[in-house]
């Protein structure tokens, strides 16, 4: 059976893992990528059976991309969708950090976005979906998050630009911008900030988050699955905000 194929980065945990599980459950063959080798193998074992494959390494490195291209070419020879969920966060001070350190977060996400897009498009002659998970940080500012925020904003714009470039081939390109999501990235200094006093006081007890809870990784995965499907056939170049209403308040 000619099952659809999807490449998912950041697939060892969080949104990426939930997305891999959802796509496999819906009948996709899934290629998983992550820098966490052992967790990646564990995630593979949790998928609904299929012709699944994986390769480890940083999605921002050309060597890793070459490995993925070879694997997909040999095993499948095609791709129907890319869902890039990988990302990193490091506190940054643009006024005191040297540029090389500051650029680590920025470059990793920008390079990963571009390289995985180039890889995916090679296996999409006509039709296909590129979906990049960004963040509401792409349009909002937070102290100590300048590199992260600028990278997410740049990826949003890259998706718009690529939507124009790839429209003649009916390859649709969109971004998903989550707000708070309860994943391992929410753990700061050993504590999940979404389960603590700060989140409760500001976002549950106060008015800043209308739905008064963080999203689950599965909810973001559902939006990715929608964007990869037939019902999203006229959506391209968009940033879909999935934040429980966080960015509509003041």
Active site members: 148
Handedness of CA 226, 13, 30, 71 (dihedral sign): positive
Find tokens 């929410």 and name the residue: 186
Q: 53-56 and 239-242 as β-strands: parallel, antiparallel, unpaired?
A: unpaired
Q: Cα–Cα distance between 15 and 31 in angstroms, integer? A: 15
> CB within 8 A of 49, min separation 6: which ones?
none
DSSP-derived letter for residue 215 is: B
Q: Is 57 left (phi over 0), alpha (psi -120 to 50) or beta?
A: left
Q: Cα–Cα distance between 244 and 209 in angstroms, integer? A: 7
The half-sphere exposure of 121 on its side-chain side, counting CA atoms within 13 A, is 19
């Amino acid at each position: 059976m000619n099952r659809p194929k999807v490449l998912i980065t950041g697939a060892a945990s969080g949104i990426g893992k939930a997305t891999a599980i959802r796509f496999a459950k819906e009948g996709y063959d899934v290629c998983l990528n992550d820098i966490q080798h052992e967790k990646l193998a564990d995630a593979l074992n949790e998928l609904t059976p299929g012709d699944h494959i994986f390769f480890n390494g940083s999605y921002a490195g050309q060597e890793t991309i070459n490995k993925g291209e070879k694997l997909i070419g040999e095993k499948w020879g095609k791709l129907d969708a890319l869902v890039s969920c990988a990302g990193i966060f490091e506190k940054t001070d643009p006024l005191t950090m040297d540029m090389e350190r500051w650029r680590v977060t920025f470059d990793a996400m920008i390079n990963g976005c571009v390289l995985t897009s180039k890889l995916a498009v090679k296996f999409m002659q006509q039709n296909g979906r590129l979906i990049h998970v960004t963040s509401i940080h792409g349009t909002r500012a937070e102290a100590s998050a300048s590199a992260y925020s600028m990278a997410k904003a740049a990826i949003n714009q890259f998706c718009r630009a690529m939507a124009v470039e790839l429209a003649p081939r009916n390859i649709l390109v969109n971004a998903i911008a989550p707000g708070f999501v309860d994943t391992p990235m929410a753990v700061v200094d050993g504590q999940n900030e979404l389960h603590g006093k700060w989140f409760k006081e500001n976002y549950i007890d106060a008015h800043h988050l209308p739905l008064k809870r963080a999203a689950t990784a599965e909810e973001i995965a559902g939006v990715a699955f929608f964007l990869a499907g037939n019902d999203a056939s006229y959506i391209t170049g968009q940033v879909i905000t999935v934040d429980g209403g966080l960015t509509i308040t003041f």
